[in-house]
Amino acid sequence: MKRKRIIASILLACTAFSFTACGSKGSEGSKGNEGSEGAGNEIASTITVQVEKDWVPYYESVKERVLEKYPKATINFIETGSFDHLNVIDATDATNKDVADVFALPADRLYTLANNNILAGIDAKKMAEEVGGFKDFDGGMGGNFKIDDEYLAFPYNIETLVAYVNKENATSAGIDLTKPIEFTSLEFGKMLVTAHDAWYGVAFTNAVDLELLNKAEDGTLSTDATKAYSELTDDQKNLFEGLYTYWKSHYENKTDLWDKEAAAGYLDAQFAAKDGAAIRIDGPWATTSLSDTVGADNLEVLPLSNVTINGNPLSHWKGGWGLGINARVEEDEAQMELAEAFIKEIVNPEYAKDLFKGTGKILENVEASAYDGIGGMDEKVIKATYTSYEASINRPLFLEYGKVWDSWQNALLSWSSTNPTNAEDAYKQVQASFEAMMATFK
């Protein structure tokens, strides 16, 4: 394949200068990762694995299990944050010794990494069969890591948004958690979400089928956000009525919610305050901090779909992360086998609870019941995440979607300077921003 030839050429040139910088070549070994018997026993290759500080204990246990099957192999860790590691990749290339052979990547970075020839192709379908638990590999996360006919990463964990509840504040506000929570009916300040951030904003646009950017099979790009206000559906108009009213109440009360830099601090303070915010939209990654802030006994977690806008349940994306292999090892069969074995052991369903406790990662290839007994807030978050994930839609992963983030946020943040008098005027800022975005694609 083209990528293999490119990487092979890079490695050849690199080897002439520094064998170490290009990674060591291991002994050749046959495919297969079945037990500790056979060819795997003879593989003496070395691989490096990117691991975040908090993940180290779990990854050490993975390493031990892999080395039981490959006792002559060497597995070294590069301890660094996932995004810090991706930044190193962006600044250099696949041959950099500071770039690991196995590393975590968010699904939305796949195309950029693929275009820069960073990722090795893997036999993901075979790996999925060996790992087990995947109901529809291509229809789920597996398909998110496939470009054309090639898989470039293996599903790691699922991510989506959930609704956190400060139970005391909900009680004082008279919010019934057994019924749908209508966004537009809540009193000022009782629900907090940075709707101007498109990561959270899409939960609202998805609820009313407002397509911020779509790419057809022939490559044609389109958006609903450039339509005239009169062309929007009633649900879409009501969405902007709700968002406009939400902005206006915070604008008039001079809060920091519509301040991109100060919003996070405002959310934390208000959610923790007595008689403050009762509902907060966030991801599973926020559980520990929110639990520490308001107290585990005072925190509830609900599926995102329990919150509605004009009767339409909020719906986020089927997001998540994958595990990729550095393209520099693609031509080394033994290293590839070892790297794939490590990935399979990370997501081994048998250790789903240990994975969550060690990394906070929730697997796609197990049922929610696999976490029964994990207890406390962890179990609530996991079950709410699975329910939210099932109700979410597939995430757009094409490169051009990257321009949606600023186009949406700049438009909504502009309301505080343009001070629109109604929802239609507010929408015009969105329309103008997306018209400008679409012009960049021509």
Could you report the per-residue pLDDT of 333-344, keeping only the tens digit for each?
999 999 999 999
Beta-carbon contacts of 149 under 8 Å, excluding residues fewer than 6 positions away, are none
Q: What is the pLDDT of residue 52?
A: 97
Q: In Å, what is the CA distance from 296 to each residue of 176, 281, 377?
A: 20, 17, 7
Q: What is the mean pLDDT of the chain?
A: 91
305-310 average pLDDT score = 97
Could you report the per-residue pLDDT of 366-399, keeping only the tens digit for each?
998 999 999 888 899 999 999 999 999 988 888 8
Q: Which amino acid is at 278?
A: A
Q: What is the pLDDT of residue 39?
A: 55
112-132 average pLDDT score = 96
54-68 average pLDDT score = 97
Q: What is the pLDDT of residue 40?
A: 61
Q: What is the pLDDT of residue 42?
A: 86
* Cα separation, 169 vs 176, whole angstroms: 11
Could you report the per-residue pLDDT of 219-264, keeping only the tens digit for each?
999 999 999 999 999 999 999 999 999 999 999 999 999 999 999 9
| pLDDT at 61 > cutoff 70 | yes
Q: What is the pLDDT of residue 218?
A: 94
CB atoms within 10 A of CB 82: 17
Could you report the per-residue pLDDT of 139-161, keeping only the tens digit for each?
889 999 999 999 999 999 999 99
pTM of the model: 0.83
Domain 2-152+319-346, CATH number (from 3.40.50.300, 3.40.50.1860, 3.40.190.10, 3.20.20.70): 3.40.190.10
CATH superfamily of 162-316+397-439: Periplasmic binding protein-like II (3.40.190.10)
| pLDDT at 2 > cutoff 70 | no
Could you report the per-residue pLDDT of 24-48, keeping only the tens digit for each?
333 333 333 444 344 567 899 999 9
41-61 average pLDDT score = 95
* Cα separation, 329 vs 94, whole angstroms: 9
Look at residues 64, 12, 43 and name the one whose alpha carbon lies nearest to residue 337.
43
What are the residue ranges of CATH 3.40.190.10 in the chain? 2-152+319-346, 162-316+397-439
Could you report the per-residue pLDDT of 428-439, keeping only the tens digit for each?
999 999 999 999
- Tokens 């379908």 belong to 125
